Amino acid sequence: MSPMSRFVPLLCCLLLAGGCGVERTARVPDAAAAVPSTSAESGPAVSTPTVFRLPSDFAAWQQSPVVAPDAAVLAVPGVSIGRFQGLDAVLVETPLATAAVSLVGGQLLSWVPAGQEDVFWLSPLRAELPTPIRGGAPVCWPYFSRHGQGNDVPSHGFVRTLPWTLVSAAREDDGTVLLELAPPALQGLALGLRMQLRIGRQLEQRLVTTNNGSEPVRYTEALHNYFHVADVDAVRIEGLAGRTFLDKNDGGNAHVQQGEWTLHDPRDPGRSDRLFADAGGRYSLVDPKLGRRIDVSVEGGRTAVVWNPGEAAAARMADVGPHWRGFVCLEAANAGPDLVELAPGQTHVLVQRIAVAPLD
């Protein structure tokens, strides 16, 4: 029996249930070894994710207002605090690019390289806070979906609806802006999180997770990118052909991606909810109608998720509705079987780098 055939059933169960610079290297289990076994030669069994309890101060933080950063943090040309589509945000404006990062959820809302259209999609039907913001690049942490969690915790983790703090800002000689933001430390949660952004001609985003506790922790995470496209029916994603994915629209069953991803897969056309484990980390979103490609490279993240609800499901989503054609989610993640295991004191970094180029 091949390694792939042995771990597919476990991957299905995991889905339905729910380099980079590091100080000490965290372990991301090998997907091919992610099979329970008593044989020493077959490698270790896949660990189950840590079950997180709702922090006792979560509701209080969710109702807390955002706090403006110290004046010294904002003493950087091109960086300010303002409003972006009705949301309190860190605003960046330089000759290289403009960007907006929400102070609720630490969510990148917009990045517009000079001369380009926005790389990200933000729903024009966004619900009022504290409903999670639909669009941009939501931070799903310390778990993706409800992977391994109960129904007493919010989907996609704790930090999407909490106020974040702008910790620092700087500007490099070429005009690239560096930002660091962090959510509040939550009671009973051993993990700490920082997010670092480099905003310029290209975008770099890092999720830096540290285990501040005394016990190992296993978690999942994602940068849930909503990329702006002219028409999702006309785009393709390169880099996933031939890879095995778990299809949430098919009960978590495993399939092999036939050719480059499009929304017209004859097996299940018109929608996508696919989790690619051990996905390779190099993807390109090709948009002929906008005449551009969005190249995504990932370090410290083994999973790719591709999602668009399609017309029927979008009609039932108040904050998507008829606008489903305007985006596709291509997510940098550690999810499904790709858990991150952190020993006490360890740090793990998930990095995505995004660049935009015209089509030849």
DSSP string for residues in 261-308: B-TT-TTSTT-EEEEETT--SEEEEEETTTTEEEEEEEES--EEEEEE
Q: Is there a catalytic annotation at residue 238?
A: no
Say how far apart CA 192 and CA 204 lie, in whole Å. 20
Catalytic residue among 147, 156, 221, 224: 224
| CA distance linking residue 268 with residue 251, whole number of Å | 13
Three-state SS letters, 160-187? CCCECEEEEEEECCCCCEEEEEECCCCC
**Residues in a beta bridge with 100:** 91, 110
Rounded Cα–Cα distance for residues 224 and 158 (Å): 14
Q: % helix / strand / coil in the chain, to the nearest 5?
A: 10, 40, 50
Catalytic position from the list 147, 228, 331, 348: 331
Query: What does the DSSP 8-state code read for residue 156?
Result: T
Task: Tell me if residue 331 is catalytic.
Answer: yes
Query: Could you tell me if residue 59 is left (phi over 0), alpha (psi between -120 and 50 degrees) or otherwise beta?
Result: alpha
Active site residues: 224, 331
